[in-house]
Structure 1
Amino acid sequence: MIATLFRFVAIAVASAVLTVGPSVNAEDGHKLWLRYAPLDTAARAALASRVTAITAAADTSPTLAAARAELDRGFAGMLGAPLPHDTALHDHGLVIGTPASLPALAALHLPLGRLGHDGYLIRSIRMNGKDETIVAANTDIGVLYGVFALLERIERQQPLADLDIVSAPRIDLRILDHWDNLDGSVERGYAGRSLWDWWTLPDYKDPLYTDYARADASIGINGAVLNNVNASPDILRPRYLAKVAALADVFRPYGIKVYLSVNFASPMVLGDLKTADPLDPAVAAWWKRKADTIYRAIPDFGGFLVKANSEGQPGPQDYHRSHADGANMLAAALAPHGGVVMWRAFVYGAADKDRAKQAFDEFKPLDGAFAANVILQVKNGPIDFQPREPFSPLFGAMHRTPMMLELQITKEYLGQATSLAYLGPLFEEALRADTYARGKGSTVARVIDGSLFGNRLSGIAGVANTGRDRDWAGSTFNQANWFVFGRMAWNPDADAGAVAREWSELTFGPDRRITTPVVDMMMRSREAVVDYMTPLGLAHQMGTGNHYGPAPWVSDLARPEWNPTYYNRADRTGIGFDRTASGSDAVSQYAPPVAHRFDDLATVPDADLLWFHHVPWDYRLHSGETLWHSLADHYQHGVEEVAAMQREWATLAPLIDAQRFAKTAAFLSIEHREAVWWRDASMAYWLHVSGLPLPAGYPAPAHDLGYYEALSFPNAPGQAK
């Protein structure tokens, strides 16, 4: 068998136009990290020594069929043709299945108990005197996850001998939130139109939907909220539910449940009711009927995501009811079917208080008041997906309420589509933040996986960055943010650098000449964005509406918290928002050790300084530099980092295919231009309000402040609807 396979490999190598340099064959990025590029001769030989045939159950479920199809796709790409399938065991065979689907696996008494529903085991084993590689799990979806893990290991040319890999997710709900609208637009989307073609569904199921499901399953994502949190009630009309059901049918074999964002006023819009009061029996009955209807069409429907009483959206407070009243009414409708309510804690309104305090003040008094199938969805920071924020104090405050972390994968505030900003370090920073809710080690990761407070529900959500661009995410490097979200949703303790390396090897091939500089660029990229946009704890200094470009001077909008000046508080005396005990007292929402660290100038990290303190321009940081000098230094450093990434990327031209190389080079050029703009416009404003001279050694802004203030971008991508 091995000799036969080696002859097959030799023929494939000779016939398949396998070029030595990867730059010859252009790629458009559509295959994401599932490229299954042809292996070189040594890697083929290593694979042939471990796997020559595939053994799986003859009667497969749709999910096991998807696993077998993925193996065929993977081996066809890497070897030139799929491996043979058989129900008999072979020397150097690959055996996939569950003990229930394959009796030979049941006889091995594998340690599958600790894998739960989604986990998998990959093991090298002697079975009936033969060397086998086993992918086993308790469920078919676990097998599929294991198949993806094995294929990725082969792609990365990792050793295949003596395998003993056990992996299970720590978080149950691993969900992408799509801010897609029914007209095909995507709010805060930078990768083209929506993936979902509502017009042709349910009749035409675009193959793109299956590829999307494959990509999600390959990184362990198991849920998708299909529509924008600013939800149209129309999504609950019968004609749209039929379309949702069609997508659910496509996603189901890949272990992905569909969820819907719902508008709290839907009973009034769709049901001829005069109220949406959650304590009105007629309203509760309407939602129960609607839930029953949905589950008849989609038996495994996941549940509802709700944005209520925030940014003008309707909610229970319209009727003087609490968030718990609203969430529990919906939860009662879903409970008989096993559905969940994900209730967003992103709330703020015109109020004479610090916006950063509002979510805590509204939700902390409700701890323990929510139904068992309600989980609060909380953004990583207390304001809104900024390049850097301290963690939301809600994570340490709600001991009796399940919490799920909401991260943004789409880069609404981090350079949108074109800037290279790998978000792994941001996600890692949020997950590892220590709330001290139960002493040291009470990390956000332990809150959301349920282990810290013993919660049954656990979840994490990422606001998706997908669209109909050929590369799915607007750029090659934006794909990495989708990828790292999935990896950290599976294991919230995953290392951002290790995930970056894995993604690079899958995306560009396991060539150290590529991987080393690419990972270096990725790991520096987010900090570069922080430096040239919002250094030292500044926040929300972007243009209003589209959040594009610098606008620290804006002060004339109707509500204070819409204005960048609200957050920078810059004047002749200094800069920064005083959230200490003598200011807004936002620090008091944190556990005492955290509150003390943020409140005290001697201990607050420089990275968070201006978030919590208003300090004089000549204040000296822990580094010994004055604030004024340090601001100039951070802006300049951010610009220089982007220039360094440009130079580093240019060295890879002989190694990266021409199409992806050229697009990334162009986007780095855009980012450098915008970084200079951010530096110059921001410094022009700080010079104006401080009255100070420019620190020596730094470039003067290219234009006066009036020039930057006059710039306007009404058609910038991602404009809010």
Structure 2
Amino acid sequence: MTKRHLLLFFACILIGLKSFAADPSGADASGADAMASEGDDGYRLWLKYEPVTNASVKSEYLKYTTFIGCSAKGEIVQTASGELQVGLKQLLGKSVSATSSFAGRSGGIVLRIETGADTTQQGEGYRIQLSGGNIIVSSKSENGILYGTFALLRHMQMQQTIKGLSMASSPKVRYRMLNHWDNPDGTIERGYAGQSLWKWYELPERVDPRYTDYARANASLGINGTVLNNVNASARFMSQEYIVKVAAVASVMRKYGIKTYLSVYFAAPKTLGGLTTSDPLDPQVRAWWKEKVAQIYKEIPDFGGFLVKANSEGEPGPQDYGRTHADGANMLAEAFKPYDGIVVWRAFVYKADPNADRFKAAYEEFVPLDGKFDPKVIVQVKNGPIDFQPREPFSPLFGNMPKTPLGMEFQITQEYLGFATHAVYEAPIFKECLDSDTYVNGAGSTVAKVIDGSLHGYTRTLMAGVANTGNSRNWTGHPLAQANWYAFGRLSWDHQLTSEQIAREWIALTLTQNQKAGEHIKSFMLRSREIYVDYNTPIGLSRPWMGVHFAPEPWQNKGSRPDWTAVYYHRADSTGLGFDRTTSGSNALAQYRPEVQKKWNNPDQTPLPYLLWFHHVRWDHKLSTGRSLWEELCTRFYTGADSVKWMQQQWDLAKPGLDPQVYTDVAERLKVQRREAIWWRDAWVLYLQTFAKQPVPQGFEPQKQTLEEVKKSVNVYLMR
């Protein structure tokens, strides 16, 4: 085990302790067979199917409950039919039987496979309409039938009228997947909701019923792929022992139209196969991977493909042999030629160069390779150039590789967003990136148009989300974190949806249909990200370092490499604060189009959310708010922390419309969030004050602790 993996191991232990403290149900409430407590324990997610209470709308629905007609007998259509039966029984109290003999009948719901020209992407689109006295759910594919069925049930759960019903929808992205950073020992890297869902020690003999509920939840959002294991992969997943285990999980996913993928350890030919090299151009290595892929497809005929992290953070890769990322990816793609699988190659790379800017690393390594990747390869790019920060500018890779399909990698799990104790609704983060304009083909060339293929004509398109699920009874630790899983799924299907639309939908399906309560919850959800940024990393601060990625430690300056320290990113000194990425600094701005550079090149014109990403600003510099940098920072830190009290008030106002168990769970976590927001505020303000040499502005209460006392509290936290 390398030093890096030891660090990750101990980080997982620390994370687990914090996760357990935040979610006492922890690993003991480990699945569908765990005893559910009274009230809403969050297990049903957004598939609660609670009885329709609007009498007139219910009577409309009941007119179409005579039968469920299935025009096909495929496994996924049968899944859709079974879901309809469950949904109608719970929503309307009506048991409805399925039949393949329904010609000439009316008053039912018909699931129909359409033939003829396909105008929907990969046939996964669906149409729902009233015709011949029936509700018709139609698609070119079984997957589309399943997605249409869930859309109809969502419509019913929202208690919307069925009069004049006519809906059609197709996914804008072809591969919509979750990336699980789950390890064979049951730990989850950056996981805050208990242990892994996958019980490898039980598989393949026992298949946990929770896998089915996981598949249902994903299919209801249109997610069609899942990567089961950590990108810091173990070679054991390439062994026959684990391939058989993965096949057992895949058999569950298949019924819901979900393909199973694996992360691979690039050096597996050496560590597992006994070869002397893992050089991607070596004939024996290429033959080993071809044989391995054939072995997988023998057990999993619909296997999705490989996800690869290589030559990043100590992981092995093709550069170990003087080869390029394209050489490595193309070698794996060659092994998939006889099959439908793909290779997803991550662009999260950066070297330990004390003179470099990590911001620039992915662009420098990948843009020269544009056009050199096999058609079966998708390069997966994080939304920002650093590492899932609370706010980042969009990655400059988007728009600069027109000959290479680029997939989006979002993070759903809250690595830098407060773990399982802070309520942060992430849809605004996703939307901020997707709606950013790259200007690669002029105005309107958004990141969304890059990843959906419409800008460059990609046929293979992908959006991936690093999962936030664990075996905690409510799946995600924090009940409101379920909304982030939901938001990712809905946006991967249709990136044109708004954050507000998704929040309103999720609240009604998951928490309450009390309109007044819903408005209070929606209000604080939509503001939660900005509130978090204000007390955590305002005006473009960032803070990654090698640790548990939560404790406020802006003074941290010791690491095995400069970019694994905090001071590398904020660059506070007696003059000012921020990372100069203009021509006078690292010149990272040059990686963007001139129109984007113009927005961010002048500190007086750069929007405040990105100011310190691109400029080292004097403490006394007057900003557009009329305040100096120091005054603005203090204002953000203080108002951000104080705004958590407002979030608590909004949650309290929603209490009459909420399940008591859900209310109490979130209310208690908000108390923790309030305390930790003050912790972050004090750590930053006291530390930066040593450089700014200025008092906290009038109107804000001075800190009750000294910097040394705060440092001591952080050290105690890290020792837990």
Q: TM-score range by the shorter chain?
A: over 0.9
Task: Give the counterpart letter for 1:80 in structure 2.
Answer: G
Q: Given the superposition, is the C-alpha separation of residues 548 and 45 from structure 1 closer, same or farther in structure 2, using an over 3 Å criterion?
A: closer
1:64/1:97 contact within 8 Å kept: no
Q: Given the superposition, is the C-alpha separation of residues 364 and 45 from structure 1 closer, same or farther in structure 2, using an over 3 Å criterion?
A: closer
* In 2: Cα distance, 1:360 partner to 1:59 partner: 48
Between 330-339 and 416-425, report the one with greater CA deviation: 330-339
> Which of 493, 497, 514 matches 1:490?
493
- Aligned positions of 1:260-339 closer than 5 A: 260-339=262-341
* In 1: Cα distance, 2:418 partner to 2:380 partner: 25
In structure 1, list runs of 5 or more residues that go unmatched: 1-23, 101-108
Q: Given the superposition, is the C-alpha separation of residues 520 and 122 from structure 1 closer, same or farther in structure 2, using an over 3 Å criterion?
A: same
Task: Give the counterpart letter for 2:130 in structure 1.
Answer: S
- Aligned positions of 1:199-214 closer than 5 A: 199-214=201-216
Task: Give the counterpart letter for 1:63 in structure 2.
Answer: I
> Which of 359, 369, 372 matches 2:375?
372
Task: Give the counterpart letter for 1:123 in structure 2.
Answer: Q
Alignment partner of 1:83 is 2:96: yes
* In 2: Cα distance, 1:388 partner to 1:615 partner: 18
Q: Given the superposition, is the C-alpha separation of residues 409 and 565 from structure 1 closer, same or farther in structure 2, using an over 3 Å criterion?
A: same
Alignment partner of 1:453 is 2:459: no
Q: Deviations over 1:577-613 (max 9, x none)?
A: 0001111000000011101211112321111000000
1:51/1:92 contact within 8 Å kept: yes
Q: Given the superposition, is the C-alpha separation of residues 44 and 417 from structure 1 closer, same or farther in structure 2, using an over 3 Å criterion?
A: same
What's the CA shift for 1:80? 2.6
Q: Deviations over 1:200-242 (max 9, x none)?
A: 1111111100100000000000000000000000011001000
- Aligned positions of 1:508-523 closer than 5 A: 508-523=511-526
Q: Given the superposition, is the C-alpha separation of residues 474 and 43 from structure 1 closer, same or farther in structure 2, using an over 3 Å criterion?
A: farther
What's the CA shift for 1:537? 0.3
Q: Given the superposition, is the C-alpha separation of residues 301 and 115 from structure 1 closer, same or farther in structure 2, using an over 3 Å criterion?
A: closer
Residue 18 of structure 1 is matched in structure 2 by none
Task: Give the counterpart letter for 2:539 in structure 1.
Answer: L
What's the CA shift for 1:570? 0.6
2:634/2:685 contact within 8 Å kept: yes
Residue 109 of structure 2 is matched in structure 1 by 94
* In 1: Cα distance, 2:232 partner to 2:395 partner: 22
1:47/1:154 contact within 8 Å kept: no
What's the CA shift for 1:652? 2.1
Q: Deviations over 1:131-154 (max 9, x none)?
A: 211111111110110000000110
1:278/1:316 contact within 8 Å kept: yes
What's the CA shift for 1:116? 4.1
1:94/1:133 contact within 8 Å kept: yes
What's the CA shift for 1:620? 1.3
1:157/1:510 contact within 8 Å kept: no
What's the CA shift for 1:338? 1.9
Q: Deviations over 1:246-288 (max 9, x none)?
A: 1111100111000100000000011110110111111111001
Residue 69 of structure 1 is matched in structure 2 by 82
Task: Give the counterpart letter for 2:399 in structure 1.
Answer: G
* In 2: Cα distance, 1:674 partner to 1:568 partner: 21
What's the CA shift for 1:382? 0.3
* In 2: Cα distance, 1:47 partner to 1:154 partner: 10
Q: Deviations over 1:510-564 (max 9, x none)?
A: 2212211111111000111110000000001x67410112111111222111111
Alignment partner of 1:123 is 2:136: no
What's the CA shift for 1:49? 5.1
Task: Give the counterpart letter for 1:625 in structure 2.
Answer: R
* In 1: Cα distance, 2:185 partner to 2:340 partner: 30
2:553/2:714 contact within 8 Å kept: no
Q: Deviations over 1:151-171 (max 9, x none)?
A: 011001111111111100010
What's the CA shift for 1:481? 0.3
> Which of 364, 384, 387 matches 2:387?
384
Residue 397 of structure 2 is matched in structure 1 by 394
Residue 3 of structure 1 is matched in structure 2 by none
1:122/1:136 contact within 8 Å kept: yes
What's the CA shift for 1:90? 3.9
Q: Given the superposition, is the C-alpha separation of residues 350 and 40 from structure 1 closer, same or farther in structure 2, using an over 3 Å criterion?
A: same
Between 373-382 and 620-629, report the one with greater CA deviation: 620-629
Percent identity, aligned pairs only, is 48
Q: Secondary structure at the match of 1:123?
A: strand
1:67/1:144 contact within 8 Å kept: yes
Residue 9 of structure 2 is matched in structure 1 by none
Residue 569 of structure 1 is matched in structure 2 by 571
Residue 709 of structure 2 is matched in structure 1 by 707
2:382/2:410 contact within 8 Å kept: yes
> Which of 436, 451, 472 matches 2:439?
436
2:382/2:408 contact within 8 Å kept: yes
* In 2: Cα distance, 1:715 partner to 1:62 partner: 50
* In 2: Cα distance, 1:237 partner to 1:43 partner: 58
Task: Give the counterpart letter for 1:122 in structure 2.
Answer: I
* In 2: Cα distance, 1:311 partner to 1:505 partner: 42
Alignment partner of 1:414 is 2:417: yes
Residue 48 of structure 2 is matched in structure 1 by 35
Task: Give the counterpart letter for 1:689 in structure 2.
Answer: F
Alignment partner of 1:52 is 2:62: no
Q: Secondary structure at the match of 1:436?
A: coil
What's the CA shift for 1:113? 3.4
Task: Give the counterpart letter for 1:61 in structure 2.
Answer: G
* In 2: Cα distance, 1:616 partner to 1:716 partner: 32
In structure 2, list runs of 5 or more residues that go unmatched: 1-36
Residue 694 of structure 2 is matched in structure 1 by 692
Residue 647 of structure 1 is matched in structure 2 by 649
Residue 13 of structure 1 is matched in structure 2 by none
Q: Secondary structure at the match of 2:372?
A: coil
Residue 9 of structure 1 is matched in structure 2 by none
1:533/1:679 contact within 8 Å kept: yes
Alignment partner of 1:362 is 2:365: yes
Task: Give the counterpart letter for 1:120 in structure 2.
Answer: Y
Q: Given the superposition, is the C-alpha separation of residues 518 and 90 from structure 1 closer, same or farther in structure 2, using an over 3 Å criterion?
A: farther
Residue 474 of structure 1 is matched in structure 2 by 477
What's the CA shift for 1:484? 0.4
Q: Deviations over 1:402-422 (max 9, x none)?
A: 000100000000011111000
Q: Secondary structure at the match of 1:637?
A: helix
Residue 503 of structure 2 is matched in structure 1 by 500
Task: Give the counterpart letter for 2:682 in structure 1.
Answer: D
2:127/2:167 contact within 8 Å kept: yes
What's the CA shift for 1:654? 2.2
What's the CA shift for 1:641? 1.7
Task: Give the counterpart letter for 1:560 in structure 2.
Answer: P
1:135/1:146 contact within 8 Å kept: yes
CA RMSD, 1 decimal: 1.7
* In 2: Cα distance, 1:154 partner to 1:714 partner: 50
TM-score norm. by structure 2 comes to 0.92
